[in-house]
Chain A
Amino acid sequence: MTEPLLRVEGLHAGYGAVPVLRDVGLSVAARTITAVLGANGAGKTTLLRTLSGLLAPTAGRIVFDGADLRGVRVERLVHRGLAHVPEGRGVVAELTVDENLRLGGLWRRDRADARRALDEVYHLFEPLARRRQHAGHQLSGGERQMLALGRALVARPRLLLLDEPSLGLAPRVTAQIMALLQRLRDDTGLTVLLVEQNVRSALSVADQGVVMSLGRVAAATTATRLRDDEHLRHAYLGF
């Protein structure tokens, strides 16, 4: 078996004295979409924050593309190809759409490719192209999600950490975003770790599913099994 793009072993993390993640382990193969599912407070967002370096783990290993990520600063992680789109979008409200997107490629040495990536993002997200000069705070929720996603893509990541992209969006927009993730996986080989409350829509595009419960991984299996196994569904996903 080939080495997974991301491997997490015995990860513990929390906020101050409050432990959230307990002994989390998972592995994400390249060119797959993995959905992280679970109830509120299961530790899904904390997992992503720890993976992207926003939160320091108290124990455990995060191996990305063969390298240990411990002690690597957030901004360096982006340079290594790990992009995080946080919940609540993380769009810079005072900058325009164009400036927000260019922010994503700011650190890149290859200016020409950064520009190319920018054009591609505008191509992917029609509405953004129409609102280039609008400030971030003037966008709708869906546009804002596109912008955050677009900014992450300008950095040409290999692993995309996506936190609740469907939050507050109409089902149609959510479906569009899910379809886009699938397309990116197939066309560019992007690997996605997707945190979602919306289980059905997440499992509709995911290859793998990880179910979290009270800070631990309760189940990790293929998305198809999660969809079909009535017992698992009842126990953790509530439908």
Chain B
Amino acid sequence: MTQSPYATVDARPSPLRRLLPPPPGAAGPRGSTLLRHLVLAVLAGAAVVLLTNQLEPYRNLQVARVCAFLCVTAGFTILVGLNGQLSLGHGALMATGAYTVALVQRGLDGRDLRGQWSVPLSLLLAVAVTALLGLVIGLAAARLRGPYLAGVTLAVATLVPAVTTIFTGVFNGEQGLPFPVATPPAFLGAYFQPERWLAWIALLAALLTMLLMANLVRSRYGRSLRAVRDDEVAARLAGIHVARTQVLAFVVSAGCAGLGGGVYAVLTATVASGKFPLELSLFLLMAIVIGGLGSLAGAVWGALLLVALQDLPALLTEAFTLPGGLAQRLEGNLALAVFGLILIVVMLVAPGGLQDAVRKATARLGRRRPRPSR
């Protein structure tokens, strides 16, 4: 076959290409994708449950926060990495989920409706409400590209906290809404660590999200998402409804963000708009880029990083006795600075993100193994 002189022109790599890991390709061994993912999810779940049994309450809360963020980053990386739509408003979508949970929990409690079922119910509603908001944003997003889309989602990021301060009667302004969360069920014993229970709730939500997303990526919708990202004309000519695909991606990732935000609220049993500033949206984006855009394993890296950096200032002030003023200044800015630094370093060293670097490193190790001599 002759190399076409137009081959290089044809390739038209998308601008996000450099950040993307190579396409996943076929799933290696044939067989049920769902089953394989299910087994993986159960194994991962079992490992984390065993881990939580060993940890002290504070560490368990950290595990729970990682799981909450994982819900968000898993959906977000599909939107940005697989579908190529940029959003700077996912922090606000988390807030939407969180406030939904708070309002539903308070409403149920006010009507004396209490029980273990209340948290799953309010999380479900959080997903529904956020997905609905995602639908609205997605419909606008499908008409916009690149910087314009970033602008609109940025507006969402600032709008949602503003709404909470305008309608103080409902959202209680900056003070936020505390809400009751059911204690661990009785069959676990009277002295069961509540933080462990919270970690399990968050874990379940994260595993469910990962399972759904993993199957989505491998499904025909996953392929449509990527086709739309790379070449809209080719996708349309292949019979794919481009706008519908983009809206779908937004709805899915918004639902995930709502779930993550809801879980996050359950962990602290309170929600306040200050917890979801604009920086959070930026952090989320940086986290999935550092982890590896479009990769669910990268989303795990991102979630770990988000929690690690949130806790970094506290860790530093604990380790070194810093003057009070400095500690206060670090509180707000350290995470942002460190995040930016990591982003720069990772993009220089491993443009495909941490997950891509890990993949390459393991591949290199595999090659280095001595080959059997013939």
Contact = CB atoms under 8 A, between A and B. Distances in A.
B309 interface: no
Contacts of A137: 10-11, 13
Contacts of A173: 1-2
A137 B12 CA distance: 9
B1 A106 contact: no
B273 interface: no
Give the contact-size bracket for chain A: 35 or more
B167 interface: no
B177 to A, nearest CB: 44
Given A54-B233, A94-B14, A107 B23 contact: no
Contacts of B240: 75, 103, 106-107
Interface stretch (A1-9, A77-85, A198-206): A77-85
B7 interface: yes
Given A79-B239, A99-B223, A173-B2, A90 B234 contact: yes
A98 B23 CA distance: 12
Given A103-B224, A106-B238, A92 B230 contact: yes
Given A92-B231, A95-B23, A52 B6 contact: no
A167 B9 CA distance: 12
A106 B223 contact: yes
Contact of B230 (A52, A86, A95, A152): A95
Interface string B218-237: 00100110110111011111
B1 to A, nearest CB: 4
A140 B20 contact: no
Contacts of A141: 1-7, 10
B145 interface: no
Given A93-B231, A96-B23, A151 B238 contact: yes
B114 interface: no
B228 to A, nearest CB: 9
B227 A95 contact: yes
Contact of B238 (A54, A93, A103, A143): A103
Contact of B234 (A52, A91, A98): A91
B22 interface: yes
Give the contact-size bracket for chain B: 35 or more
A184 B227 CA distance: 27
B224 A127 contact: no
Most B C-beta atoms less than 10 A away, residue of A52, A85, A137, A169: A137
B26 A169 contact: no
Nearest to B238: A103
A152 to B, nearest CB: 8
A142 interface: yes
Nearest to B239: A78
B4 A104 contact: no
B23 A54 contact: no
Contact of A103 (B7, B23, B235): B235
Given A141-B6, A170-B2, A173-B1, A90 B229 contact: no
Contacts of A233: none
B147 interface: no
Given A75-B240, A104-B238, A104-B239, A94 B23 contact: yes
Chain A to chain B: the 6 pairs with minimum beta-carbon distance, closest first: A141-B4, A78-B239, A168-B4, A90-B234, A170-B2, A107-B239
Given A141-B4, A142-B4, A169-B2, 9 more contacts: A54-B236, A75-B242, A78-B237, A84-B237, A91-B231, A92-B230, A93-B230, A94-B23, A168-B6
Interface of A: 52, 54, 73-75, 78-79, 83-86, 88-96, 98-99, 102-104, 106-107, 127, 132-133, 135, 137, 140-144, 151-152, 155, 167-170, 173
